[in-house]
Amino acid sequence: MAVVLRRVDSELGCWTHAEWTPDEGDPLAGAIDRIWDFDGTLNSARERTFPNGMVELIVQLDEPHRAVHEAVTGAHFPAVCVGGLMTTAGVVEAPPRRCRVLGVRLHPVGAFAVLAEPLHAIAEATVDLRDVLGRAASELGERCFDAPNGAARVGIAARWAAERIARANHVDPVIALAVRRIAQAGGQAPIGEIQAESGLPRARFVASFREHAGVSPKRFARVVRFRRALAMHQRLELRHVPSIGVKNLFAYLP
């Protein structure tokens, strides 16, 4: 696997970033969006996060990050945790010193395969991964802690996730296809048509979709549209072209 390394030294801070993204055609491409590793310090502690239609496993090897709610800093996140699919923005505060953080960003169905847990149970929340996976979560944290660098941690996490995905036998291929169609269409796919083609009654289709993705099909489609609009907004900013502004993008969300 080819891990891309990047060194950043700017007014934002100083860090090393390692990242691996499955190539198109890779068996893991439909399950894993990317695996990344951050090692360094940030000059600006707080960062706003936006819904991206993904589920993220996080391993924090130093002082953990915190969530900020209405300007009030909350408790530290668990050292090994999972963030369910979000439909609202949030603010995260980094520690004021060096931190090493690894993230496994999963497509919803990939997360369902890895966790073997209905995703609606963790939607809109960040929970201790050990409460979900027990010893397997602790093993991931221990392996990452013993790794010599970020690139090695990315490789460890990729192998760990691949092993769990290979053993998964609880994923419904019909629902997996429905989730993938909505994502590939940028949230513009006709939900009624997808449900009809699944051959499942509407109530069963929606319930199974929530298990695999964390939210209903319509809400998932709105999150995907928001993600697409946010990416377009960021590209325009890089080109110094006026855009509609981030606040207006929330019209895409429930």
112-127 pLDDT, tens digit per residue, is 999 999 999 999 999 9
Among residues 87, 80, 30, which one has the least CA distance to residue 56? Answer: 80
- Averaged over 143-159, what is the pLDDT? 98
253 pLDDT higher than 80: no
CA distance 40 to 200: 49
Output 126 or 234, whichever has higher pLDDT: 126
What residue type is assigned to position 188 of the chain?
Q
d(CA 167, CA 114): 9
Indicate the residue type of 85: L
Reported CATH class of domain 4-167: mainly beta
Q: Say what percent of the chain tops pLDDT 70.
A: 91
Q: Residue 245: is its pLDDT beyond 90?
A: no
**What's the pLDDT tens digit per position in 179-196?**
999 999 999 999 999 999
User: Mean pLDDT across the chain, nearest whole number?
Assistant: 91
pLDDT at 1: 81
Q: Which of the 8 DSSP states describes residue 192? A: H
Average pLDDT over residues 94-108: 96
Domain boundaries, the chain: 4-167, 173-252
Query: What is the distance between the alpha carbons of residues 174 and 199, in angstroms, rounded to a whole number?
Result: 9
151: Cβ contacts below 8 Å, ≥ 6 apart: 3, 5, 18, 37
* Residue (of 117, 144, 142) closest to 131 by Cα position: 117
